[in-house]
Amino acid sequence: MLWALAFLPIFLSITWLYALHSASSAPSGLNITLLIAHPDDEAMFFAPTLLALAPHNNIHVLCLSTGDADGLGSIRQQELKESCKLLGIDDVDVIDDPELPDSMGVTWPADKIGSILDKYAGKAGVVLTFDQGGVSGHVNHRSLYHGAKEWTKKGGKRLWNLETLGLVRKYGFTMDAFVAPAQAASGMRFVSGMEGVRKAQRAMTDAHKSQMRWFRWGWIGLSRYMVVNDVKEISV
């Protein structure tokens, strides 16, 4: 048992290097809107993608709620802007609309999401958001997929989705790099190095301070989404 624990850092280093080797080249010159549901989604789920894309593209973050489920909406809006700055993004819009509550029990209307995209994302050539699984399964995340899909189909835009993984892979850091290499070939794989992972972690610990409950320490230390993102373009 002790030998296995001693070998773990070496194994993680090898898989991380392999993941870096399998990373996609970042596209450039695009206007991309990242569509998220709550302040902290950008750091907890999309950080590797944002860190790869921000130096080469125009990135706009559009958040469809203030994250006011616990009455912290005004604080969380500012935290989002601070987090985005750490990730290299200055263009941020936050929507506060009673039809789009931060709630595990409310599906957001696709037409409402579309009307907001009309207003705030008209210049975007690409909308990046969650896939139909929403990564965490949150109903607000899943709503974004359906709303964005309908809007991009109507407007002739491109739609990129962040892939939802199962529980083991979700908390496996880079350990699945050897067993899931093909997914990088069927889409885009963005992988952060040590500096990028630390930026993503600081986006949570230094910016999203109101959200740093005990279970989120496990997420930022173990989650694959802090270091690797698999993104696929969806045909609409």
* C-alpha–C-alpha distance, residues 160 and 35, integer Å: 10
Average pLDDT over residues 47-64: 97
User: Among the residues of 130-213, which ranges form H helices?
Assistant: 139-155, 167-170, 182-185, 194-202
Average pLDDT over residues 190-217: 93
Average pLDDT over residues 214-233: 91
- Tally DSSP H helices, then E strands, for the chain: 10, 7
Q: pLDDT at residue 15 above 90?
A: no
Provide the pLDDT confidence category of residue 154 given band limits of 50, 70 and 90.
Answer: confident
Short-list 135, 138, 159, 139, CA closest to 224: 135
Q: What is the mean pLDDT of the chain?
A: 88
Average pLDDT over residues 83-112: 95
Better-predicted residue by pLDDT, 2 or 131:
131
Q: pLDDT at residue 1 above 90?
A: no
* C-alpha–C-alpha distance, residues 204 and 41, integer Å: 10
Q: What are the percentages of helix, strand and coil residues in the chain, rounded to 5?
A: 50, 15, 35
Residue with tokens 């969806």: 234
pTM of the shown model:
0.91
Torsions phi, psi of 114, nearest 5?
-60, -40
The pLDDT, as a whole number, for residue 23 is 73
The pLDDT, as a whole number, for residue 13 is 65
| Contact residues for 126 (Cβ-Cβ < 8 A; gap 6+) | 30, 31, 32, 33, 157, 158, 159, 160
CATH of 28-234, one of 3.40.50.10320, 3.30.450.30, 3.40.640.10, 3.40.630.10: 3.40.50.10320
The pLDDT, as a whole number, for residue 29 is 95
Q: Can you name the residues that pair with 189 across neighbouring β-strands?
A: 230
Q: pLDDT at residue 6 above 60?
A: no
Q: Can you name the residues that pair with 31 across neighbouring β-strands?
A: 58
